[in-house]
Amino acid sequence: MGEVTVNAKTGDSRVQLKVYTEPDDATPQPEVARLRRKVRPDDDGRVRSRTIARRYLTKEEKILSETLPYPDEVERPATRQECLTMPRPCPFVSCAHHLYLDVNPESGAIKLNFPHLEVWEMPETCALDVADRGGTTLEEVGAIMNLTRERIRQVEVRGLQKLRHHKDVELDLPPERP
């Protein structure tokens, strides 16, 4: 992976960021390559996310995924403060806040949110960076998450219902009547 160092002045301090570029020998993994071959845009030009079910991985791929060592020379950020000064796009796709993939905790299935892009081609890689910017529209969130505006609205409604339910339970209040 190539590396470009950028010096930037932010407020009172100078920050040095490293931006990673496409590796010279970028060879995708077989399962990812197989998924990318199947990727076709919808009628509206949008590419849908793809899921890799754990049961479809070969025995060798399952063993490899369980035995992969984490590189000693790479220091993964432990806090959000450390993460703020890390290079963008974020190289840590296993982070819970990374937008490249989602893992279903029940089935172990991996969903590639952007099967047509490599990590370094994504305009946004961290959900926390998006949240730090403040309010965004449903269209912007949809583009960032590779989902439709309607699906983002459904997720928002479900999340608000859960918050409302937990608030009432914690405060020992009766639920609201419609």
Distance CA 173, CA 37 (A): 53
Would you write out the chain's pLDDT as a tens digit for each of its 178 residues? 444 444 444 444 444 444 444 444 555 556 555 555 555 666 666 666 667 666 667 777 777 767 767 777 888 888 899 888 888 888 888 888 889 888 888 887 888 888 888 888 888 889 899 889 888 888 888 888 888 889 999 999 998 898 888 776 665 555 665 5
φ/ψ of 60, rounded to 5, equals -65, -40
Q: Does 177 fall in a domain? A: no
* Model confidence, pTM: 0.56
Query: Which amino acid is residue 154, in one-letter code?
Result: Q
The pLDDT, as a whole number, for residue 64 is 74
Residue with tokens 């470009």: 4
Q: Partners of 111 in the beta sheet? A: 51, 102
The pLDDT, as a whole number, for residue 67 is 73
Note down the domain range covering 11. Answer: 3-147
Distance CA 145, CA 8 (A): 28
Q: Does 162 fall in a domain? A: no
Quote the number of domains for the chain: 1
Q: Does 111 fall in a domain? A: yes
Query: What does the DSSP 8-state code read for residue 133?
Result: T
Q: Does 114 fall in a domain? A: yes
Query: Which amino acid is residue 115, in one-letter code?
Result: P
Q: Does 158 fall in a domain? A: no
H or E element that contains 16: strand 13-20
